[in-house]
Structure 1
Amino acid sequence: MSDKVLYQKKGAVAYITLNRPEVKNAIDLDVHHRLREIWTDFRDDPELRVAILTGTGDSFCAGADLRTHVPEWDGVGPSLGRDKLLDGFAGGLTRGLHRIYKPVIAACNGWVLGGGLELAMACDIRIASERAQFGSFELRRGMHPADGGIVRLVNTCGVGIALEMELTGEPINAQRALAANMISKVVAHDELMAAADDLVSRILRNDRRAVESAKETIFEVVGRTLDEQLKVECLYGYALCGGNPELVKRSREFLEKSDRGRAGVNATPL
């Protein structure tokens, strides 16, 4: 079972690779439970700051392995929804462990389908190979997303693309996903992991507390009224300013033009 998900730690970065290429990296119950262990470890390891999630072969993830999940659901009845509230898909990143404030990057290397789309949308930033395809095929099987797929499609891409993808069950390619704001970048297939590492390096140059507070603030403002959003941003932002000793040090580096990754005529390396 351990070979179904590869988990490596390199400095401050966790690399999580779904490794069932023979079934397009579909997630069975073993993988689901292993991912819960991995996300919990990532959350709790003080040395880790960012995770990159990807898949082997020609797929990121094809969603739930129906050979193990359908028997689990068969005949249970409507109470299944209530029973699953605290146990989201793919180890809980979609729901349950979704408030991990360390950034998670999805490197979408190929097919991103069904629960795999829900998993990718639960990540914070998505970049894609030019070969990637994104689809929500659940309606073909007599169900629809229940682990954040509809919610995050609507919040990130809008009602139009969510209705099209859900009601037709047809995939979209990487360029269409980019135009729909589903992903941040499309790169050549062989450059995907290098692009993910470059993205991570840009996150790591920033102060850790500021990064995690910004993610938490974004999560907190979703769905609130404007006045509530402004209040949350003020409280979180100024709490960080007043309680982060890195602020003075990093501000001094900025004024002295010695900060990492400075753009312009005084460029310094990441």
Structure 2
Amino acid sequence: MTDKVLYEKNGEIATITLNRPERKNAIDLEVHHRLREIWTDFRDDPALRVAILTGSGDAFCAGADLKTHVPEWDRAGPSLARDKLPDGFAGGITRGVHRIYKPIIAACNGWVLGGGLELAMACDIRIASERAQFGSFELRRGMHPADGGIVRLVNTCGVGIALEMELTGEPIDAMRAFHANMVSKVVPHDRLMATARDYAKKILRNDRRAVESAKETIFEVVGRTLDEQLKVECLYGYALCGGNPVIPERSRQFFDKSDKGRAGAHATAL
């Protein structure tokens, strides 16, 4: 088992730390295969509900370690695209094992570049340190994203920011990323992991089946027509309402003003 990735379980929260600070947490083939094992374990472990992904040192992830990946690609020839289709980047979380309905939070601690940006965009919520920088540098190397980078930039941030970042190959800082809807929050660097854990706790106060059904529904409606989106939401939402046994008890807590994390005149602790 490699120490290039750290995998910790603390109650219902898994913390995954890319641990190659000397390589800006670039993902080589060993890390790629280890991440596949980690994502599979996280998906299948019934005790886990939320994952936090971050990096050690001054980078979240600088993308693919080209020293290991370029030789692999060079030998493959035209069949590379077909061979890679079921096996996306960073253990397949960008494509292949991306339909994990447990929430994943990216704690972006520094440089988020190339495949690292694709990895962050494959997460559900992104929190950025004030030091974070986000960039897509593939075009500088004669490549462009192939593991969801363009797709998720367009879906999350819009065509304008996707065109700017891809065509210029220039990074943007954390506040620009926040205004582009790329990250949910920018925090002081020393508050990053605490903020990510706070987001995890807010997720955990919600019913597990409801959380995972909502994430699945969001995945299903992307790219569909309005009528198709409304149909999918109705079918998934009312299927949950008609079959989730926790609803009566959680409704009683709401009526009694005792549910976790309530705000306002009847505030309760998270």
Bucket of the pairwise TM-score, normalised by the shorter protein: over 0.9
| Structure-2 residue corresponding to 1:256 | 256
1:152-201 Cα distance to aligned partner (Å, 9 max, x none): 00000000000000000000000000000000000000000000011111
What are the within-5 Å matches in structure 2 for residues 125-204 of structure 1?
125-204=125-204
| Structure-2 residue corresponding to 1:28 | 28
Q: TM-score scaled by structure 2? A: 0.99
Please list every run of 5 or more consecutive structure 1 residues that lacks an aligned counterpart in the other structure.
Answer: none
Q: Does 2:65 match 1:60?
A: no
Q: CA deviation at 1:75?
A: 4.0
Q: CA deviation at 1:132?
A: 0.1
What is the DSSP-based 3-state SS (H/G/I as helix, E as strand, rest coil) of the residue aligned with 1:94?
coil
| Structure-2 residue corresponding to 1:218 | 218
Q: Does 2:50 match 1:50?
A: yes
1:179 counterpart letter in structure 2 = H
Q: Matches of 1:19 and 1:68 in 2, distance apart?
A: 17
What is the DSSP-based 3-state SS (H/G/I as helix, E as strand, rest coil) of the residue aligned with 2:127?
strand
Q: Matches of 1:76 and 1:61 in 2, distance apart?
A: 25
| Structure-1 residue corresponding to 2:40 | 40
Q: Matches of 1:79 and 1:170 in 2, distance apart?
A: 31
Q: Indicate the RMSD between aligned Cα atoms, in angstroms.
A: 0.6
| Structure-2 residue corresponding to 1:113 | 113
1:96-134 Cα distance to aligned partner (Å, 9 max, x none): 010000000000000000000000000000000000000
Q: Matches of 1:154 and 1:89 in 2, distance apart?
A: 18
What is the DSSP-based 3-state SS (H/G/I as helix, E as strand, rest coil) of the residue aligned with 1:77?
helix
The more displaced of 75-84 and 188-197 is 75-84
| Structure-1 residue corresponding to 2:73 | 73
Q: TM-score scaled by structure 1? A: 0.99
Q: Matches of 2:114 and 2:144 in 1, distance apart?
A: 9
Q: Matches of 2:258 and 2:264 in 1, distance apart?
A: 12
2:56 counterpart letter in structure 1 = T
Q: Matches of 1:188 and 1:49 in 2, distance apart?
A: 26
State the identity %: 84
| Structure-1 residue corresponding to 2:228 | 228
| Structure-2 residue corresponding to 1:102 | 102
Q: Matches of 1:179 and 1:41 in 2, distance apart?
A: 34
1:75–1:30 distance in 2 versus 1, CA, 3 Å: closer
Q: CA deviation at 1:79?
A: 1.5
What is the DSSP-based 3-state SS (H/G/I as helix, E as strand, rest coil) of the residue aligned with 1:175?
helix
1:40-79 Cα distance to aligned partner (Å, 9 max, x none): 0000000000000000000000000000000000042222
Q: Matches of 1:73 and 1:153 in 2, distance apart?
A: 24
Q: Matches of 1:257 and 1:78 in 2, distance apart?
A: 61
Q: How many residues align?
A: 270
Please list every run of 5 or more consecutive structure 2 residues that lacks an aligned counterpart in the other structure.
Answer: none
1:108 counterpart letter in structure 2 = C
Q: CA deviation at 1:265?
A: 1.1
